[in-house]
Amino acid sequence: MTKVDLSELHKNILNDTLSRLKNLLNAESASLFLLDNEHQELVLNSVFDEHKVQFKGRRQRIGEGVAGCVANERKAVLVKDIKTDARFSQGRYHHYHTNSFICVPIVTQDGLIGVINISDKCSGEPFTEKDFELACLISQLTSHVVDNEIQMFSSKEELEILRKEKTENAQEQVFLQKFASMGKLAGGIVHEINNPLDAVLRYTNILIERDVDETVAKEYLTEVKVGLTRIMKITRSLLEFSQLLKDNARQDVVDVNDMLEEALSLFRHTIFLGKINVVKDLATHLPRVADKGLCRVFSNLIKNAFDAMPEGGVLTITTSLDHDKIHISFKDTGCGIPEEVRERIFTPFFTTKPIGQGIGLGLPICFEVVQRYDGKIEVNSEVGLGAEFKLSLPIKNISHP
């Protein structure tokens, strides 16, 4: 196992998950064990118990007991009745007030960091399969959040080493750009996941605790689906963003105009419907450009332009070359962007689109990719008169065929 240094923030995240699970599953008791890697033991870090029974600091060897078995196998367990469950020895679990409990591991990319145990349902009934599925889902989401914090912690350590060595080479500059990008994401990721997660927990809790008719239940399940879909989209976009930041050594060279045509092909259905007219004014014989993610930039800008013209309009795409830069412009005839919004459009997770239609990572991705070229991305707009996004890529970062 890889040793993971948990900060107080990680413990806060895990304890928040512990509290949420206890309330969601209507349980009397919940406990958090953290891994002591050196001694291969689980240490009870915190206990939320209606009966005020305290075992904090108690140790459990890996492979022994319920938590130890879950830690050893990295697999969650649902015990409906400890008296009849052949997996565990009898007579050792007198501290449970009921015979049913759920135990889930928290596993990051670096390995196991702890185990959460939920026991003693207030109703006295055993935990259900639905309870178990929810506990597993929330533990997985928590693992993703902790993974992000661990990555940030590692980046900070690397940054301190670079500062001490006072290096100013290209490798340091690349790292600093990555660190700045991850810093922006870390500031919003927990908030962005918690918002839809709160809704999922709230509606699920109502379905579990109350008798609701079929119509209301369907409405609540629809809201749950919306929340989980948003979490899925956030996770996918973060993975794509992370991949863009890591993949900085690509040597392919491409034609800018070809990349524009490839991006436009993704929207051929919308263009075919005829609501939006695309006008292209593309310069010929442009120098070929190192492929650092331009197609993603172009597709994001095209999509935003189309979204700004729901009733139809004109998107004009222009490419040109001056003495030391390639210029690319996307100009639409849409609703325009208010000044107070323009100041925040490149901030991760900022979006004016309705929930489910955008998560606010498209333009930050554009900004990061253009930064790789030491280029610029600017926006000019007036409300009601459309918007124009202009990219400038310096010649020094262009590879000739």
- pLDDT (tens digit per residue) in 26-37: 888 888 898 888
Instruction: Give the pTM.
Output: 0.46
Q: Compute the C-alpha angle 262/268/270, nearest 5°.
A: 135
Range 267-292 burial, b when 16+ CB lie within 10 A, else e:
beeebeeeebeeeeeeeeebeebbeb
More confident position, 205 or 184? 205
The average confidence (pLDDT) of the chain is 78
More confident position, 91 or 158? 158
Q: What's the pLDDT at 225?
A: 81
Judge whether 167-249 and 253-397 match in fold: no
Inter-residue contact 30 to 48 (CB < 8 Å): yes
More confident position, 194 or 265? 265
More confident position, 247 or 31? 31
Q: What's the pLDDT at 239?
A: 66
In sequence order, what DSSP letters do the residues of 339-377 get, joined into one string? HHHHTTTTSTT---SPTTT--S-HHHHHHHHHHHTT-EE
Helix (H) or strand (E) holding 195: helix 170-209
- pLDDT (tens digit per residue) in 9-27: 677 788 888 888 888 888 8
- pLDDT (tens digit per residue) in 120-152: 888 889 999 988 988 888 888 888 887 777 666
Topology (CATH level 3) of domain 253-397: Heat Shock Protein 90 (3.30.565)
Q: What's the pLDDT at 354?
A: 57
**Would you list the domain boundaries of the chain?**
1-146, 167-249, 253-397
CATH number for the 1-146 domain, one of 3.30.450.40, 3.30.300.20, 3.20.20.70, 3.40.462.40?
3.30.450.40
Q: What's the pLDDT at 283?
A: 93
Q: What's the pLDDT at 316?
A: 95
Confidence of residue 4 (pLDDT cuts 50, 70, 90): very low
What proportion of the chain, given as a percentage, has pLDDT over 90? Answer: 16
Q: What does the alpha-carbon distance between residue 351 and residue 344 come to, in Å, rounded to a whole number?
A: 9
CATH number for the 167-249 domain, one of 1.10.287.130, 1.10.3720.10, 1.20.58.100, 3.30.9.10?
1.10.287.130
Confidence of residue 302 (pLDDT cuts 50, 70, 90): very high
Confidence of residue 3 (pLDDT cuts 50, 70, 90): very low
Q: What's the pLDDT at 166?
A: 54
Inter-residue contact 126 to 98 (CB < 8 Å): yes
